[in-house]
Amino acid sequence: MERTTVLITGCSSGIGLGLAARLAADATGRFKGKGVTLCRGGRHRRGSPRQLVPGGGLWLVPAAQLGSTAAPRPCSLPPVYATMRDLAKGDRLLERLGGCCPDTLEVLQLDVTDPCSLAAAAQRVQEQQLDVLVCNAGVGLMGPLETCSDQAMKTVFDVNLFGAVRTIQAFLPAMKRRRAGRIIISSSIGGLQGLPFNSVYCASKFAVEGLCESLAIVLQPFNIHLTLVECGPVNTSFLANLQHPDPEGSELQGLDAETRDLYHRYLRHCQSLFHDAAQEVEDVLPAFLEAISTPCPPLRCVTTQLFAPLSRLRLASPDSTMYVRAMHDFVFGHGEAGGDQP
């Protein structure tokens, strides 16, 4: 069975963490390493499973240290590279793997907003053929548009759009030379249709969708498949970590009362939606696994049918007027914007 080498960004939590753990523990052996490479740094007991050791840890390799002149030593080629901006958060992945890191996995420091970090990670991976690139790093921004600062909006685009662009640019040339490869992008329902109080986030994901659709056309003769995995609500730390104004905080004080009321109602809607309809990480992983393994993966894969009626309405309504009204009713209920909701 051929070995498949995968690099995943954004593996400190959520989908990235779940996918890295699933691939590294793959029972079929498809992702099992073979041969010898040279790893630097860390401490490892000979003959024992690789473990995260305070002050060391073979499997945690900061990109800035990949060019170290320390004496190298042999270890198995890891076909799954799990990357994250902050290696201090690697403990979560280790816990998922039962406290020991298998020979099939190596964790690299990679910040998609830092070209030097990307270049160092790409240099590390170039020692072997990268078959699949999963661009999963992302951040959110929620709230009334009037409260979104320039810096917050730039950060969203720097990670979600330009981070994906930089990552693809770093690994695409080698795939083109081999005329083979797969690029999988963690997208969102918010890249297909506008969501209230997510204007900037949706704008970044709309841009990612356009980027990938355009790129897929060019990559077809190179036998490089590109797939957008469009998730709806998923129970991860993404919602808790995204930037958003405190509904009782000072940021909303300058807003009109009606917008503040709509925002409060939207937050209640989100809470209800995540409670009743959110998917678990394990529910969305099959879409990524299919994009990795199927002979001809699709350009788009939606992981939930929750928004399917709205999606169809958006396409069926030539001017999208019906969609806007339907989405408003779905989120805020029927009737006037400031009225009581059932």
Which tens digits make up the pLDDT trace of 144-167?
999 999 999 999 999 999 999 999
CA-CA-CA-CA torsion for 196, 197, 201, 205, nearest 10 degrees? 0
Q: What is the pLDDT of residue 62?
A: 46
Q: What is the pLDDT of residue 28?
A: 67
Tens-digit pLDDT profile for residues 182-227:
999 999 999 999 999 999 999 999 999 999 999 999 999 999 999 9
> Which stretches of the chain drop beneath a pLDDT of 50?
1, 32-76, 337-342
Q: What is the pLDDT of residue 104?
A: 85
d(CA 39, CA 3): 20
CA-CA-CA-CA torsion for 274, 275, 277, 282, nearest 10 degrees? 80
Sequence-distant (≥ 6) Cβ neighbours of residue 1 within 8 angstroms: 28, 29, 30
d(CA 303, CA 287): 7
Q: What is the pLDDT of residue 42?
A: 34
Q: What is the pLDDT of residue 128?
A: 78
Q: What is the pLDDT of residue 339?
A: 42
Tell me the residue type at 197. Answer: F
3-state DSSP percent of the chain in helix, strand and coil, to 5: 45, 15, 40
Q: What is the pLDDT of residue 27?
A: 61
Write the CA distances from 244 to 146, 253, 337, integer angstroms.
12, 14, 21
Phi then psi for 338, rounded to 5 degrees?
Answer: -100, 10
302-307 contacts, C-beta under 8 A, 24 or more apart? 302/189, 302/192, 302/230, 302/232, 303/229, 303/230, 303/231, 303/232, 303/234, 303/279, 304/189, 304/231, 304/232, 304/233, 304/277, 304/279, 306/189, 306/232, 306/233, 306/277, 307/189, 307/193, 307/232
The residue with tokens 């949706």 is 202
Residues that are catalytic: 201
Answer whether 49's CB lies under 8 Å from 101's CB: yes
Question: Per the structure block, which two tokens stand in for 214?
Answer: 């355009």
d(CA 299, CA 311): 17
The residue with tokens 């996995």 is 105
Per-residue exposure over 269-304, b if at least 16 CB sit within 10 Å of its own CB, e if not: bbeeeeeeebbebeebbebbeebbeeeebeebbbbb
Question: Left if phi > 0, otherwise alpha if psi is -120 to 50, otherwise beta: which for 231?
Answer: beta
